[in-house]
Structure 1
Amino acid sequence: MKQKKVIGIDFGGTKIKVAVIAEDGKIHGEEILLPTESNRPAKKIVATMQTGILKAVSSAGLKINDLDGIGIGSPGPLDLKNGIILDTPNLPTMKNFPLKKEISNLFNLPVALNNDGNCFVLGEAYFGAAKNASSVCGVTLGTGFGCGIVFDKKIYIGTTGTAAEVWCSPYADLNFEEYGSGRTLVRLYRQKTSDKLDSKEIFHLAQKDNSQAIDTFLEFGKNLGRILAIMVNLLDPDVFVIGGSISNAWEFFKTPLLENLNQNINDEPRAHIRVQPALLGDNSGLLGAAALLFS
């Protein structure tokens, strides 16, 4: 049986990544990376996306009519029913823009659009750390705190399409995002040293055995473990996947995360829950966008 081949697009405020992807997760041809230049008019951004699609198809030795569709992972919030980007800070010129319709009209192909956090988890559920699991939850830890939920290889979006938008949920004196993102590391390290470094610099210091940087990650892991415990008690997933740029420092916060998670969840999930970093690296969202057409 012939495998489906689709275009996957990881669409962000900084860059647009495009590739032809088959149902087995194999990338055909080149991954095309283009700058978003997000302050340009929306139509110009769409033209860049169109260029990326044509380049990806050409590099795979295919034609547009060889493809079965186009999947796009985009920052939210989104109107998923109508395929519209709503009011996204990273894409200021695309407010209320009908991206799904625009791309579908350009190529006369089915187009699927979903939140980039959801696409991250779907990619890992199909091809990565959770490919044998029936229920998966995941978080992306970077500038912000993204989350997604996948049951039986399908994204759970809830009644209004905003399921898993937990970043604003209250935790301690702030919220999930303020205790589970790169900003958390910056704040914690500054409290210890009065130095304002970014999360990557703090990671590099931890790799050099800097005690204050290591303590920062230990405290980060403690709070993140408690945050994930709330989600595990609610959703009871088989696998919890940790992604985003902060996951590169997994070894520095894994132990306190797991300790605090296990201390705060019920006996049954404690016995079976698997927590691990993403396996697909920067391509989780790209592959997940493609998998929107497979699920």
Structure 2
Amino acid sequence: MNSTKTIVITGSQTGMGLSTKQLLEKNGSKVIGVSNSGDPEITADLSTKEGVDYAVSEIIRLSNGQIDGIFANAGVDSENVELVFDLNYFGITRMLESLQPYLKKSNNSRVVINASNSVVITPGIPEEVVDALLNFEKEKAIQLIKSNPHYVYQVSKTAIAKWARQNAHKAEWAGNNISMNIIAPGVVLTPLIEHDMKDPRKAAGINMLPKPIGEIAKPDNIAPLVKFLLLDDSRFIIGQYIIIDGGTEVLWREKDSPKTWDISFDDFQKL
């Protein structure tokens, strides 16, 4: 184990962020936590441009300009559309793109983005809103989501997962030995879920989810996967959307994946 690894974790003071921080520190890593509450190494509001820019400058200072990994974990589920889009999508992309040159210096760095299994178990996510976010058309996305207000969280998580998939293989990332992946937890007993359980509509949806493994995950069940992707010999895993939900998705969609490639050989040769 390389005890000199420097890892950044956003949303580091509760839930999956805190459990991962504790596990990585136990394994010898230096962790720079970023949060807007508690007592992190950096206090910043990552839903604002100013907050992200401040966090980036402090991360560079505290890491001496070399970062070995980032767990982009901070997220929110709220009726405040702009807040959800700003934190779950724009804040993550801005931070990762700003820190990419410093990840590059490591020559073997990792990025893990915390998305959600809701991306693949929620029917009818409006793709036009996802596409607007991917095109960084924030105002268009806000206008489009008004006809589907209950999809705000799922849209934001779908967009960040697709952004990672569309960028992970590129020269700027994989070509610079930065391995970027997405984890997709199901229901995890975090403050976010505890908050959602107070909403009768959301609580009903959470309670109806199947639990093949028999229970709801705790943050400590997710942290080992993040550790593997950040610290262990996982360099060749790139651009993958890894579901960790106790079997919910596979129970509902066992026949949907893996999906064969519906492309002609002639089109394949043109790639």
Task: State the TM-score, normalized to the length of structure 1.
Answer: 0.30
Structure with greater strand percent: 1
Please tell me whether Structure 1 or Structure 2 has the larger radius of gyration of its CA atoms.
1
Task: State the TM-score, normalized to the length of structure 2.
Answer: 0.32
